[in-house]
Structure 1
């Protein structure tokens, strides 16, 4: 296999993961989690989203959280935005990376943002411009690139067009999200074959969900295509609150274990992350979808 020597993991658990839990963690609990992830060596962490607090109450205090983030030049902290108002809120904080995100699925886009795909595309152009004017790095992300309820309901041409629009705005990274967990190795290869020429020199990342158990298989398929950036969540936390049945992200620990097995450097340590997954599992009162975190024990005996 033609695989990269190193991959970059963006930990999205503090945002994507926590937004799906009914128990809302305090700012202090979330700051402790983020500090633990920083200590584990993760190079990039998505810490919050600037969305309507009535729809995602778990992220209601994004400004206050970001104000108290640990001071470090070693970690790229990012926050998700879905509209211009969200970007404007983000720009009033110190967050260095802003993710401007919209869905390329007609159905999901309307449910997620109240806009058509074309309206969201034009809104994203404005979002990116505002973020760049404020001196922020931009993750331009496309949701549901592998489909919403069916792999055929999001035309590949629509994804490529949206990718071209985002790349043309000069984003720092293009993120392709499998929000519904419909991706398979063949569809990953097909998607990347179409999108990579459009991306050009812009690094492409995959945000994979493990709804049907193919998350890590899709990681390998993507690495064979040259992808070296992946979003993951500790313990496999996460999902989409606006999509029925959307399961969690690929687990950070499982992904790191795979990288170790393949001799690929990812820079982060599994056990400190796994300890936090076990802690969150106890806190939320249920098992998390990930596998590797379960193999450890916090019992000193």
Structure 2
């Protein structure tokens, strides 16, 4: 059974009021943990305390459209494109006064870590990325895959329809449970762990952001013009020079690339770790010790350990704890 992560606080950062858990000393070296879809910050509930014990400040934000994270403007685009999620991460580091962090994630979170490592290496001391290199573009996604590979993307095509949008809004929890089971077929998660994460999907912007993400990938939805240059750079599949550990479970039922397919994208210190024993897509939640160890080791791979960088005085407004009330 997965433990609860901790109290959620609110921080205004860029376009968002971000709900996050902030653990460990504020002046310790920072780790930014990024979840994916349809998961939540609870995916890191067991590995985050391990990182605090190892001497890190651990920052775990709800992505836009999850938990208590909210867009500050009611007329803002409910944008799920990769460049927007990466901008959110940079804005959060700025708001917290963190100059550089080890960035680690899975699913959407791994893709965001890739963006930061590729385009903002000064902010990404090292990275841990489940399923490796996930940067792509609308152009590359336009290339058809063999039928067996396309089958794994059934929900992407479902979301391209109005029926799919309404279906996801109506059956959100059922949808998430199905994805958990198919992406991690050997993971015996319990109802309590699922319920804690599923509660984070009850966000007024969640469905719109998820639908936009997958429609944008297929070229069926436009991104924001302010991110056009970032997406152009990402479409060139830039190399990543920051120290990196990529990870994969032996029972990942979600679409994911083979490690050999992305090895040449990493030009700095690099290691790939393959986990056995039935580990699926939600690797930090299924193998928290292995994930925490990867973060610790990635930090050690950097040339020198950076001086502690905590929250700058007055740089963020922190609220009270939240009320009781081709890869994926």
Q: Return the TM-score normalized by structure 1.
A: 0.33
Q: Which has the higher contact order (CA 8 A, sep 6+)?
A: 2
Higher helix share: 1
